[in-house]
Chain A
Amino acid sequence: MTALLVLEGVEARYGPVRALRGVTLEVGEGEIVAVLGANGAGKTTTLRAVSGTVRRSGSIKLAGRALSGGPEAVAKAGIAHVPEGRGTFAELTVTENLRLGAYTRRGKIDADVERMAAWFPWLIERGDQQAGTLSGGEQQMLALARALMSRPRLLMLDEPSLGLAPLVVREIFRIVRELNEQEGLAVLVVEQDARIALAAAHRAYVLEVGEVAVTGTSAELRENESVRKSYLGY
């Protein structure tokens, strides 16, 4: 499998706090990769290092080209980042959120809005609703749809399950999985819910205090004694 995103020895800090201490990981073309770990392990920071919203060092490459610069440049390079807490534009309408998703692209986007409607049928009829008034699950789906509007080479999701009912979480992961199977979408997903993440992902990394502690295929991690104890709870 050809590598799409490659991180090598990535470090990041917030002032004196070293949040990442040399993270090395890889996402292949057409692959879903999960990042697991306890609170404060550095999962969010890993995604932020990729999108350039935190100061980082080390090497980060997308399809062989170094990613540098701020989030605008990273978005333009083809990475869509759905941040922790969803990150929709609460004061803008659903349709406006979708249009913003396609900001880095030129040309017609109507076809893409329709494509999103196929995945999320309610989006069209709710087009004029203020995003801030959607339910948590709807906002997460809108955030996902908005990210897809950019036709990303890599989708990054930060804890899509946070605060959502199990049914909604399953729906979101089902859609991600289908997008991956049907369109070859590559995904890097951060999750605390290891069970659902391992069910959807091909491979996973477990972070502990800013470093990769364990890595392997989802099946391997499910069998791993310490992963089971710490993150799967059986």
Chain B
Amino acid sequence: MTNFLQQVVSGLASGGIYGALALALVLIHRATGVINFAQGEMATFSTYILWTLTQNHGWPYWPALAVTLAISFAGGFGVHQLVVRPVERGSVLRVVIVTIGLLLLINGAMTWIWSGEVRSVHSPFPTRTIDMGGVAISIQDLGTIGVSIGVVILLGLFFRFTKVGLALRAAATNPAEARLVGVRVPLLLGVGWGLATMLGAIAGALTAPTVFLDPNMMQAVLIYAFAAAVLGGIDSPVGAVVGGLLLGVGLNLLGTYVNFVGADLRLPAALSVILAVLLFRPAGLFGHRVVKRV
């Protein structure tokens, strides 16, 4: 039983990360109709910035994270304006190729700038465990869960209650009408890319302490994030997060209690989730059909 609870908590921690990156995918998909295959590499790039600031320049963690987030926002905004915007209204294939090209480009750039060596990034949370009713739970896991859920709530509040958040939703769902009320749609969609890239940076910063930082760090996480997004419904922000948490816990329990599913079978298991959802419930758990009266 203790083991079970520990597995659930650590599953929620990795699930929170999947959920954050899945949310980034969903944000971008809703804003611009693009599946961003470069989301993982962009997150890794952000994490390298964090590493450079903390390790090379000796910055304390939190200011370094804040600056990393700001740079990530600007980077995401720039990628949208320069690379995505020219192709986003074109064919799906073109957009896919552009984001895959971006993936390769960023990956190459990281190897070139920081070399392929593995680096380690500290966690802002202590690695101690605390005892909760006989269950030893790592503070790192709790911190990760807290941060990912906190970020998602903040983002939800932003979309619901701020003028920019509202304009972004309008721009994403109905660009022509949004322009008529004065929303500068391309600018706002760039903001969407910026926010998604910030989310990715957070996912990267949360991932790095448990693995090592190298240019391919987020590739597996991206697959889990895809699975989470598909599971939750690619257009549902809530679905992305719930999908991430379900997937994290599910994979952990599967690895613990089903003998033949070891660490190497986590990815295939995630891929089967994608496949199964696409086959049997393409809209995902929370995907909704738009209600419209004609």
Contacts and interface: CB of A to CB of B under 8 A. Distances in A.
Genuine A/B complex: yes
Interface of A: 51, 53, 70-72, 75-76, 81, 83, 87-92, 96, 99-101, 103-104, 130, 132-136, 139, 146, 150
Nearest to A52: B179
A75 B177 CA distance: 11
Given A90-B174, A90-B292, A130-B291, A72 B183 contact: yes
Given A75-B182, A100-B166, A100-B170, 4 more contacts: A51-B180, A72-B185, A83-B177, A92-B169
Interface string B174-212: 101111111111000000000000000000000000000
Contact of B181 (A70, A103, A134, A136): A103
A100 B290 contact: no
A87 B177 contact: yes
21 contacts: A53-B180, A70-B179, A71-B180, A72-B184, A75-B181, A76-B182, A81-B180, A87-B174, A87-B177, A89-B173, A89-B177, A89-B178, A91-B290, A92-B170, A99-B166, A100-B166, A100-B181, A103-B163, A103-B167, A132-B291, A150-B181
B163 A91 contact: no
Binding site secondary structure of chain B:
helix
A79 to B, nearest CB: 9
Interface in B141-167: 163, 166-167
Interface of B: 163, 166-167, 169-170, 173-174, 176-185, 290-293
Contact of B180 (A87, A90, A96): A87
A91 B293 CA distance: 11
A104 B167 CA distance: 11
Contacts of B180: 51, 53, 71, 75, 81, 83, 87
Contacts of B169: 91-92, 96
Nearest to B185: A72
Nearest to B173: A91
Contact of B291 (A90, A96, A139): A90
Contacts of A70: 179
